[in-house]
Structure formats: C-alpha cells, structure tokens
A and B are shown apart, each in its own frame.
Chain A
C-alpha cells in the first residue's frame, strides 16, 4: 500500500524557517512527481509546490516563490519543503501528495498523507 508520512511541522515565529519531510513507501518513488498542498483548517485546498520525478521540473505558488524550496531524494524515498521567511498566512496543514504522472507535475494527486500542521505565530 502507498504510504506518505509527513513530519516537521510545529509552532514557529514569523520570519523563521521550518523544514517539512515526507517519507514515501509502497510505490516506486522515483517514477512519480510529488507535491505539497496546504489547507487552512476549515478552509479549502491550495497547491503549494510540485517537483517532477527527476527534479527537472519544479513549480511554486506565487506567494511562496523565493521563500520555499521543494526537493526530493529518490535514494531515500523522501520529499522535502524548506520553508523560509515564514508568514502568518503560511499557517496551515501541509499535505504531501503523490502525482499520477512522472513529468508534468500538476496532478492529479492520487495519494495523500495525513498532513503536518504548521503554525506561524509570535
């Protein structure tokens, strides 16, 4: 079975950094694009960033460009999101999601983790 397990969330002050991780298992990780999608509790879904199977195609939501960096380590079956210069509006549950396809890296997202909560507050 496909499993995606996020970690690294927590309470952080505005302007500080946090690194999220996603450990993947149950599928050939290096065959698929991967994503981070966030959700403010009680609100809708917002795509944050995506990365193709070989890291050759990477995209970001405009509001996180220049602050967040997505990466992956195919040898470790892991996805990461380095979040710098955090803002109050980055507060959300962050999901790791697997793409159905390897390259285009825009979904659809056929498997999701349970999410890790990031709270940005002073």
Chain B
C-alpha cells in the first residue's frame, strides 16, 4: 500500500496570503495524484487531478505540481472560503489511498 504523508498538519494563514500544501508518496505514483478540499459538514470536492490538472469549475488560484514523489498544492491568494481541510489521494496502485489531511485555518 502506498502511504501519502501530508505536511504541515495545520497551516495558519490570512486571506490574501499564498498557501503551499505538501504531499509525499512512499513510492512512485507517477503523476496519478489528486487533491480534494473538504469543508465542515460537506463532502470532499475534487480540486486537482493527475498532479496538475484543475477539475471542472475550480478557480485558477488553485494549482498543483509534482517533483518526483513530492506533490504541492498551491493556493495563490487565499479567499475566506478556502479555509478547509485538504487531502491528497493516489490512483497509481490499488488500494487508492489518501493522505491524513492538512487543515488550513485562518490566522
């Protein structure tokens, strides 16, 4: 099973700041990594798939990148609605696995 390790566990930033969230895979997942956003009481929402492709309807301030087994989700300028929990997920191998999440909170 591929383990995804997200960092930091919690990120405290202010609206307008840039957010950088990380996800490291325990082995190669090629570019088969996705990012999800989850707000309290809501289902997760797909943001980015295959490392750098934004899902339908996702604002351009969200971007994803890959360097080997390290993946980054960047939010260029935080909006109030962006404060949530973010998960990464790999589809390279079964079972698909998720990271433990990064909580993005308002500073």
Annotate B78-100 by CB proximity to A: 1 below 8 A, 0 otherwise. 00000000010101111111111
Q: In whole angstroms, how far apart are the Cα atoms of A113 and B95 in the complex?
A: 21
Q: Indicate the size class of the contact surface on chain A.
A: 20 to 34
> Chain A residues with Cβ under 8 A from B75's Cβ?
none
Q: Within the complex, which residue of A61, A110, A112 is in contact with B95, where a contact is CB–CB below 8 Å?
A: A61
Q: Within the complex, which residue of B38, B55, B91 is in contact with A106, where a contact is CB–CB below 8 Å?
A: B91
Query: Chain B interface (Cβ within 8 Å of chain A)?
Result: 32, 34, 36, 38, 42-46, 49-50, 55-56, 87, 89, 91-101
In chain A, positions 75-110 with a C-beta closer than 8 Å to chain B are 95, 100, 104, 106-110
Task: Report the 8 A-B pairs with minimum CB-CB distance, sorted nearest first.
Answer: A112-B43, A108-B34, A106-B91, A108-B49, A107-B91, A106-B96, A45-B98, A47-B96
Q: In whole angstroms, how far apart are the Cα atoms of A115 and B95 in the complex?
A: 21
Query: Closest CB of chain B to A40's CB: distance in Å?
Result: 12
Q: Within the complex, which residue of A47, A104, A110 is in contact with B97, where a contact is CB–CB below 8 Å?
A: A47
Does A46 make an interface contact (CB < 8 A)?
yes
> Chain A residues with Cβ under 8 A from B95's Cβ?
47, 59-62, 106
> Chain B residues with Cβ under 8 A from A115's Cβ?
43
> Chain B residues with Cβ under 8 A from A45's Cβ?
36, 38, 44, 87, 89, 98, 101
Query: Closest CB of chain A to B19's CB: distance in Å?
Result: 19
CB–CB B46/A109 < 8 A = yes
Annotate A4-37 by CB proximity to B: 1 below 8 A, 0 otherwise. 0000000000000000000000000000000000
If the complex has contacts A104-B91, A106-B91, A107-B91, are A112 and B44 also in contact, measured as CB distance less than 8 A?
yes
> Chain A residues with Cβ under 8 A from B44's Cβ?
45, 95, 109, 112
Query: Closest CB of chain A to B47's CB: distance in Å?
Result: 10
Q: Most A CB atoms within 10 A — which of B43, B97, B100?
A: B43
